Amino acid sequence: MTIENPIADILTRIRNASAKFHSQVLVPHSKMKEKMAVILKKEGYITGFDVLDGAHAPILRIDLKYIGERRKATRAITALRQVSKPSCRVYVNTGEVPRTLGGLGICILSTSQGVMSGHEAKKRGIGGEVLCEIW
């Protein structure tokens, strides 16, 4: 089965698993999704991730992060939003990189130098396609 919009797929799977307080979520592996998981781990939104060998293709297992006990836990990821869609791509220059919730969240960009967070893109002075915002 081919996934037409892999960014929307990973965001939806994380959103649904987080809503039900699952400890892990399994996602079909791709380089883009793995780079997004690296950014989420680096920014503290997930506890970790692994690439597993599946029956037909590799699988990315993402360990979700919660703060507090299970009954009173709060999610590390409050919300996720896809910005650039296949029907409407959103590109930004260096000065236009969005500050999600005034800097409390992150945005993930696909740049000429790879996939990176908005903070990193501003430091390097580059722009690119805004994939999603997470807070």
Per-residue model confidence as pLDDT tens digits over 47-72: 999 999 988 999 999 999 999 887 78
- What is the DSSP-derived secondary structure letter of residue 112? T
Q: How far is CA 48 from CA 4, 37, 51, 74, 129, in A?
A: 26, 8, 11, 18, 25
Q: Is 108:117 a contact under the CB 8 Å cutoff?
A: yes
**Going from the N-terminus, what domains does the chain have, and what CATH number goes with each?**
6-134 (3.30.1490.10)
**End-to-end distance of the chain based on CA atoms, in angstroms?**
30
Confidence (pLDDT) at 1: 61
Taking the model in full, what pTM does it have?
Answer: 0.91
- Say whether pLDDT at 8 is over 70: yes
**pLDDT single digits (tens) 99-111:** 999 889 999 999 9
33/3: higher pLDDT: 33
Which tokens sit at 128? Answer: 């690119």
